[in-house]
Structure 1
Amino acid sequence: MPLIEIQRVPGLPKDRAHVPVGTIFSEWLAEESLHAEVRINVNGRELQNDDELSFELKDDDRVIIFDQPKGGGLVGTLLNPLEHFNPIKFTQKVMNSLIKQPGIDTGQTKTSSNNSLKGQTNIARNGEARPDNFGQIRAYPDLIQESIFEYVNNNKLVTEWMNFGLGRYNVENVRYSESSIGALPEASYTVYNPGSNIAVINQGFQFDDVDGQDLPGPNQTEDNPAYSATANTVVSADLSGGQMAVKIVQQQSFDYFYDLPRPHGVTFVVNVSYGTPSGTVTTDVNITANLSDAQTSDDGSVTNPTHYYTFYFSNLSGEDAQGLPANTVINTTKFVLNDNEPLVQGPFFSPLEGEQLWLHFHAEQSGRVTASFSGSYWQVDEQNNAIAGTTTQFSGAISNATKGSDYRYLTLKLAPPYGKGRYAFQIYRTDNYEDYNVLKLDYAHIVTIRKNVTYPDDTIVRVTTKETENSSSVKERKYNALITRHVISYDPSAQKVDYTIRPSRKFSDVALFNWLVTGGQDESTIDIFGLYQIQSELDARDERLAYFDYTFDDEDVSLGQRIETICDAAGVSVYSDDGVLSFTLDSKRDKPVTVFNRSNTVETGYSLSYDMTLPGGYDGVEVQYRNPTTNKQAFIRYRIRNNQIELGQPTKAKKFEMMYIRDSFQADYRAQKECRRLLYSRMSMSLTALADGEWVNVGDMVQVPDTYDTNQQAGYIVSRNGNNFETSERINFSGSMFVVVTDALGNTTSRYAATQRADTDFGFIAAIPDIELNIYDGFDVQSPSRYVIATSEELDATQWLITEKKPPNAGGTTSLNLSEYSDLTYP
């Protein structure tokens, strides 16, 4: 059966699992609780980022998963969302449908604090996409490693390394929560733009088992020894080369010593005999040593084996040890083993590899006193066993230079001469404890010194602050700044893309950047000129209508969804026009782009509906946006009373969640427009157009007379003589009539006053400019110019907005969905 092993913690045994043959590895992996930066080895080969994980496990397959950082570089971290992420995955295809309604759901389900509506904090977002911020936002950068601190001049300086996100930004108004970073004592920050060289990053990981341990003095030895075990029979003992091995029958009282982390300071008593000129001397000796190893064995019996412990001792010392002659024989009558380290703290084992040990102390002292300590550290292997020859001694002291009471702090930085690795250390106090001279080991870090680091795609920030000495609570990290993304733009006069990046909040610049740079699409696949025509139109009204301010933090959101979200902030719809990404602004139209009547539509698929009440039963609108001051959600609410729009809470609101808007003017404009749409757009239509349907697009306003409404008269032009037009249909004149005509290209004219001809009912008189018309002849022209004639009010009722255009049908027709158009919809 396939075997999967997981190495979760260095030094501890691997988790093992046998899985059925045919198991899909990716499905099995998804059920496990693993960190984001695992290493996977399959049958001796380590998988790379591009390797497929959805393979079937075969018999005799062996998979080893290292749920821990691998050596070297920032990839060796547990809290590092930068270097091990795959690039954001985009569905790089041209969209082929319109946003069905404003206020789209972008599917954002990730945890970036930039998008949070509640308490924003700085967090490490393992396994999630790096923030991709656009426009101007209040950003809470992601942590890229654990906090690291040191005591300098009796102050605790805390350093955070954080990532604002992909790209380059203008960074201003840096704060901690609501307070300026400059108001914090001894606070500083440095922003590193993409590609900048960072001279040094101290990357530290805290020892989990070090947390404010008291270091007792030698005068606190009432409990020595901490534990003792006695064996009355020794199986064998060997003394040579300054080391000793003692083998005894396994017994429960010695389990304590077998389980101790090693090396560990002990004393032991054995009975020895040695010869002297006056005869043989037999006596007990008490020896101080380090318990360096312990092993188990048995006598080899199959049915009822006898089990043994063998204890190995090094660094033998003490008066008795120094006086033993070379002919000493260890007798088998006595072995007493004592734990001699009740005052020694540790050993403590580093969670990961590193180059330095940082030990943090504090002393509570009154008067001119000193607290001294000593200890040792050594390198360990994966099983936490000491590596021979790596033990190093260290010592230090904390002193109070004042006569009064004070808290004194110290960070001792140790640089092992044996290079990068996992280390363990133990420590003890060398002077006496007093109530006025208390010494504690606060924390410890294993530290890697990273030099000349660059992040080519990310903006990094380092923040250093002085922590208060007696903080009343554990504080969350709340560093934030106002950032504005640098993006590309477009020069309309030269009609060329400007790839120089600069700060911008314009939706057009953001959309262009996402399509061309992030999505990697070609310029030929997007209507850039049309996009910036819309931007120019919005700028002419108010540039705030075209802002886009948001953080994309989900790699599962496709490129198409991004573009929809960006454009929706400006009230712009997106559609595909023959494979080219195109745009249309939801705004007031001057005239229809064409006319659809009986001559260029078919009966199949036609429908017309009307809401007698407000559509959907809504009596108002609620737009949710992000307040630029508080960075929390805010609301604009309008209600409809007696066909009038007023500010207030509606009973049933049509809701639009638009957190990518952080300007109240922009949100208010959208709310008013959607409220007016409820009032003035209650009709919807479906129709099937002939070939002319291929030339219109979503967002176009078209003229469609009601086939069954005699007040909306339509047909096609048979001939023209000056201002006299002959038509295919009889025209009934009633009151002031106006006419709209399509030219040879299908474009519509403006409205012109129309009067009755005296010589025929099949025509009208109108001072329409001399435009080219299509006159049906059955050969060269088969799609004649069309007209709609009615009163001004009736012509308004024939205006429709195309909301959906379906792909051409098999017969060459095109299905269109339309909604009632009214100038009153737009504030």
Structure 2
Amino acid sequence: MPIIQIQRVPGLPKEREFVAPGQIFSDWLEGQNLHNEVRINVNGRELQDDDELAFPVQNDDRIIIFDQPKSGDLVKTILNPLEHLNPIKFTQKIMSGLIKQPSAGSIGQSKTSPNNSLKGQTNLARNGEAKPDNFGLIRAFPDLIQESLFEYTNNLKYITEYMNFGLGYYTVSSVRYSESNLGSMAGASFSIYNPGQAIGTVNEGYQFDDVDGQEVPGQNESGDFPIESASAKTVISGKYSGGQILMKIVKQTEFDYFMGLALPHAVTFVVNLTYPTASGNVTKDFTLSGVLTSATQTDNGSVTSPVYYYNFVLGNINGSGASYVTTATINNTKFVLNDNEALVVGPFFSPVPSSQLWLHTQSGLGGNSETNWKVTLWRVDDDNAQVPGTTQTFTYRQTTPHDSTSETFYRTDKITPKGGYGRYAINFQRTDNSSDASQLKVEAIHAVNVRTGVSYRNDTIVRVTVRQTENATSARERKYNALINRHVISYNLTTQKVDYTIRPSRKFADIALHNWLVIGGQAESSIDIYGLYQIQAELDAIDERLGYFDYTFDDEDVSLGQRMETICDAAGVSVFWDDGVLSFTLDKKRDRPATVFNRSNTVETGYSLSYDMTLPGGYDGVEVQYRNPTTNKQAFVRYRIRNNQIELGEPVKAKKFEMMYIRDAFQADYRAKKECRRLIYSRMSMGITALADGEWVNVGDMVQIPDTYDTNQQAGYIVSRNGNDFETSERINFSGSMFVVVTDSQGNPTARYPASPRSDTAFGFTAAIPDIDLNIFDGYNVQSPSRYVIATTEELDSTRWIISEKKPNSNGTTSLNLAEYSDLIYS
């Protein structure tokens, strides 16, 4: 069988995955949890961008995947051809400065939480999966935490469900069954229990699997049932002792039926007895009744040719010859065994141990009719053998008040067995006759444990009780749901203090902070809280809907880093590490660059510049998938680009964003339009290698980088300043209206200022730049001089870039990947 090896961490053993011969490699690759950048070696050759991946894996193939890449161009094309438009990133790879994690866009899709399902949502018991962790405002379908339990009260059937909305505290409103308000349904009620709140008594029921409306026959129906009978060909022995008879026969298939019965079981049997009388011994056949209490198999001990025996133990012996058994000899001439429980329904066995049994029956009665029956139960061990001394019998009677009309009477009878907590066997037997006007059915049995003082420390629980339709036309699914808003912590920008009082919120900043500090247990010092809430304030100033996050995390395998990516992406925010602190940057218009990179602080190694002549990736529009707040299903916003104009409509090839954590049409529409403008106005990408200055910029910063090979974009460093006259390291060629940007002693760039040539030298310019501190190179105290870039307005605009990836190198340099910046993206 072919083996594919995966090297995730250098120096550690490779993981090995077995695949079936003929498996298409690309199909297998898509299902693996790999990063966006990998290297693939097939039979000693590393695959390149244009290599075909849809090949069948052969037995002799040797495939190694290196999951710690040096470039990433390959899988950017293979695994995720839309990677540079991934909703977790800005253009291209803006999030790759984070801890490397799989794309957060697919979080929860492999799980079954109905909150994230795009199909018909129902209430499920999600055994073995993570509890829902809901944030923002969502339409939640709570998880079942135990089986449904019903009972009949006044001939009406009430069903009680206990369900879990999820971890945390919620404001719950708009409780519904499907689309109907629960309060409008007859006999329906619900109670919400927040974390730690006492629920009180909970009846925990487990339905018997083998009970499903069995009809209990009347005494007059005995002729309708065949009685199983077996006659022994060879009787080995018969013995009486202590009120029981042990019959030992040679094994024969006719008796297999009795070996498989649930015991004890009522039988009749025929034996041949010899008993003394005054006139001498008498030998005759006797038909007796009793209970089969044991049926076992033994052998004669031979290793090579064993002879097998059946051993039947019979008790509670009754019949006309029962008095002779105690003194008679049981002869080896005859043994006939008959099943005498044709009229008994059961026994049925408990699925789990319990302290109570709830019996649900239906009596269909005509006028002046009734049903009478008895219930026999006994405790059993793990092998379903009877526990001695636990047998109980209960009698019941159901009448009707009607003289002529028919009605079905439903009842629940609750029993607390004297045998105590354990598993029980139960059978039913009518003690009267049946007819068309008198029918008895066993609808269901529940093993019930009563829990008292119940509360859940971390979960919000809902108890729903509804009255079920008597003659439902179809089985209906559970579709209980409610609108829930998670309570989370917050932060005060004025006092710069975390407010740990929880309150309902849809703001991404509150939710991100709650996840990092409360859910993740991280320290306040490990996250840039002030910067996070500055971004929230910016979004609120535009429209608070731009900062909403509404989603359910239902996968315990999703890391804290992935959660933060997903939460922030809903608001167009990226996350990155800055010197050990989790930091944030908003995809927005920038007023000025963070710094300038030119030949003074970059090296030639790693420089690249590319341009898309058409719309990037061949896309002619954008499709954003979000969650419709009314239907709770997926909805779409689609825009297409025609003649560099954005118009509503479905594109031919859409750049797709799956953002089910957005539950607001305005928020989805805003994102779709911005991504359309990005397609139009951001077509260039660049790679540079910066010197030490590269350590001071972050992912998402806008920087100014003149094209090294473009003479209209001129750059260098400041040699000296005298008033408004600046001397430069490079010759400046003026052409038209020129503007200059200069960095101060801290590396911060100034605004643009008009620049004119100097009359005394070509190595300089004149500009009315404020009196700022400059770094002038002297070779000793100042090693990094202030830099400048000078060009026309149009050329300066084309030198603006957004940092999409930052990667420190071992030699002290920093590799930066950049995407073209344009104010028009944010217009």
TM-score class, shorter: 0.7 to 0.9
SS of the aligned residue for 1:537 comes to helix
Mark the runs of 5 or more structure 1 residues left unpaired by the alignment: 1-26, 28-93
Cα distance change, pair 240–98 in 1 and its aligned pair in 2 (3 A):
closer
Shift of 1:425: 0.9
Question: Which amino acid is the alignment partner of residue 386 of structure 2?
Answer: A
Does residue 336 of the first structure (1) align with residue 333 of the second (2)?
no
Does residue 427 of the first structure (1) align with residue 422 of the second (2)?
no
Conservation of the 8 A alpha-carbon contact between 2:104 and 2:565: no
SS of the aligned residue for 1:698 comes to coil
Find the counterpart in structure 1 of residue 822 from structure 2: 822
SS of the aligned residue for 2:773 comes to coil
Does residue 574 of the first structure (1) align with residue 575 of the second (2)?
yes
How far apart, CA to CA, are the structure 1 residues paired with 2:463 and 2:389? 38
Shift of 1:553: 1.1
SS of the aligned residue for 2:131 comes to coil
Shift of 1:488: 1.3
Please give the per-residue CA displacement for 1:105-136, whole angstroms capped at 9, x wherever unaligned.
43641111111001111111122111111111
How far apart, CA to CA, are the structure 2 residues paired with 1:820 and 1:233? 97
Find the counterpart in structure 2 of residue 774 from structure 1: 775
How far apart, CA to CA, are the structure 2 residues paired with 1:540 and 1:307? 89
How far apart, CA to CA, are the structure 2 residues paired with 1:663 and 1:609? 36
Conservation of the 8 A alpha-carbon contact between 1:96 and 1:575: yes
1:649-660 aligned within 5 A: 649-660=650-661
Cα distance change, pair 706–249 in 1 and its aligned pair in 2 (3 A):
closer
Does residue 398 of the first structure (1) align with residue 407 of the second (2)?
no
Find the counterpart in structure 1 of residue 23 from structure 2: none
How far apart, CA to CA, are the structure 2 residues paired with 1:170 and 1:132? 14
Find the counterpart in structure 1 of residue 554 from structure 2: 553
Shift of 1:236: 2.4
Shift of 1:334: 2.6
Please give the per-residue CA displacement for 1:398-440, whole angstroms capped at 9, x wherever unaligned.
2222342112101111111222111111111111101011110
1:138-153 aligned within 5 A: 138-153=139-154
How far apart, CA to CA, are the structure 1 residues paired with 2:761 and 2:204? 92
How far apart, CA to CA, are the structure 2 residues paired with 1:775 and 1:115? 59
Find the counterpart in structure 2 of residue 354 from structure 1: 354
How far apart, CA to CA, are the structure 1 residues paired with 2:304 and 2:692? 94
Find the counterpart in structure 2 of residue 267 from structure 1: 268
Find the counterpart in structure 1 of residue 24 from structure 2: none
Does residue 623 of the first structure (1) align with residue 621 of the second (2)?
no
Find the counterpart in structure 1 of residue 588 from structure 2: 587
How far apart, CA to CA, are the structure 1 residues paired with 2:119 and 2:299? 62
How far apart, CA to CA, are the structure 1 residues paired with 2:737 and 2:784? 29
SS of the aligned residue for 2:756 comes to strand
How far apart, CA to CA, are the structure 2 residues paired with 1:561 and 1:489? 21
Question: Which amino acid is the alignment partner of residue 350 of structure 1?
Answer: S
Shift of 1:759: 3.1
Mark the runs of 5 or more structure 2 residues left unpaired by the alignment: 1-15, 17-94
Conservation of the 8 A alpha-carbon contact between 1:95 and 1:560: no
SS of the aligned residue for 1:221 comes to helix
Does residue 708 of the first structure (1) align with residue 722 of the second (2)?
no
How far apart, CA to CA, are the structure 2 residues paired with 1:710 and 1:794? 10
Conservation of the 8 A alpha-carbon contact between 1:718 and 1:775: yes
SS of the aligned residue for 1:294 comes to strand
Question: Which amino acid is the alignment partner of residue 406 of structure 2?
Answer: S
Shift of 1:557: 1.3
Cα distance change, pair 101–307 in 1 and its aligned pair in 2 (3 A):
closer
Find the counterpart in structure 1 of residue 317 from structure 2: 316
Cα distance change, pair 735–597 in 1 and its aligned pair in 2 (3 A):
same
Deviates more, 1:704-713 or 1:300-309: 300-309
Question: Which amino acid is the alignment partner of residue 173 of structure 1?
Answer: S
Cα distance change, pair 98–752 in 1 and its aligned pair in 2 (3 A):
farther
Shift of 1:797: 1.1
How far apart, CA to CA, are the structure 1 residues paired with 2:371 and 2:467? 25
Conservation of the 8 A alpha-carbon contact between 1:548 and 1:566: yes
1:252-651 aligned within 5 A: 252-277=253-278, 279-321=280-322, 323-324=323-324, 326-403=326-403, 404-651=405-652
SS of the aligned residue for 2:222 comes to coil
Shift of 1:804: 0.6
Query: Alignment RMSD, CA only?
Result: 2.2
Conservation of the 8 A alpha-carbon contact between 2:378 and 2:419: no
How far apart, CA to CA, are the structure 2 residues paired with 1:352 and 1:645? 64
Find the counterpart in structure 1 of residue 166 from structure 2: 165
Deviates more, 1:634-643 or 1:353-362: 353-362
Shift of 1:284: 3.2
Find the counterpart in structure 2 of residue 189 from structure 1: 190
Deviates more, 1:180-189 or 1:728-737: 728-737
Find the counterpart in structure 1 of residue 800 from structure 2: 799
SS of the aligned residue for 1:800 comes to strand
Conservation of the 8 A alpha-carbon contact between 1:211 and 1:442: yes
Does residue 174 of the first structure (1) align with residue 155 of the second (2)?
no
Shift of 1:668: 0.4
Deviates more, 1:95-104 or 1:556-565: 95-104
Question: Which amino acid is the alignment partner of residue 328 of structure 1?
Answer: A
Shift of 1:569: 0.6
Question: Which amino acid is the alignment partner of residue 523 of structure 1?
Answer: E
Please give the per-residue CA displacement for 1:421-461, whole angstroms capped at 9, x wherever unaligned.
11111111111101011110111111111211222111111
Shift of 1:173: 0.7
How far apart, CA to CA, are the structure 2 residues paired with 1:98 and 1:653? 29
How far apart, CA to CA, are the structure 1 residues paired with 2:614 and 2:276? 116
Cα distance change, pair 632–107 in 1 and its aligned pair in 2 (3 A):
closer
Conservation of the 8 A alpha-carbon contact between 1:95 and 1:581: no
Find the counterpart in structure 2 of residue 672 from structure 1: 673
Question: Which amino acid is the alignment partner of residue 354 of structure 1?
Answer: S
How far apart, CA to CA, are the structure 1 residues paired with 2:212 and 2:265? 21
Cα distance change, pair 224–757 in 1 and its aligned pair in 2 (3 A):
closer
Find the counterpart in structure 2 of residue 79 from structure 1: none
Conservation of the 8 A alpha-carbon contact between 1:205 and 1:445: yes
How far apart, CA to CA, are the structure 1 residues paired with 2:580 and 2:146? 44
Please give the per-residue CA displacement for 1:125-148, whole angstroms capped at 9, x wherever unaligned.
122111111111111111112111
Identity of aligned residues (%): 67
SS of the aligned residue for 2:632 comes to coil
Question: Which amino acid is the alignment partner of residue 514 of structure 1?
Answer: N
How far apart, CA to CA, are the structure 2 residues paired with 1:234 and 1:134? 75
Question: Which amino acid is the alignment partner of residue 596 of structure 1?
Answer: F
Deviates more, 1:668-677 or 1:227-236: 227-236
Find the counterpart in structure 2 of residue 686 from structure 1: 687
Shift of 1:635: 0.5
SS of the aligned residue for 2:585 comes to strand
How far apart, CA to CA, are the structure 2 residues paired with 1:232 and 1:713? 113
Shift of 1:319: 4.4
Please give the per-residue CA displacement for 1:542-595, whole angstroms capped at 9, x wherever unaligned.
111111111111111111111111111110111111111111000001111111
Question: Which amino acid is the alignment partner of residue 714 of structure 2?
Answer: Q
Question: Which amino acid is the alignment partner of residue 560 of structure 2?
Answer: L
How far apart, CA to CA, are the structure 1 residues paired with 2:275 and 2:285? 12
Find the counterpart in structure 1 of residue 743 from structure 2: 742
Find the counterpart in structure 2 of residue 41 from structure 1: none
1:196-235 aligned within 5 A: 196-223=197-224, 226-231=227-232, 234-235=235-236
1:10-29 aligned within 5 A: none
Shift of 1:281: 4.2
SS of the aligned residue for 1:219 comes to helix
TM-score (norm 2): 0.86
SS of the aligned residue for 2:781 comes to coil
SS of the aligned residue for 2:387 comes to coil
Shift of 1:101: 12
How far apart, CA to CA, are the structure 2 residues paired with 1:271 and 1:103? 81
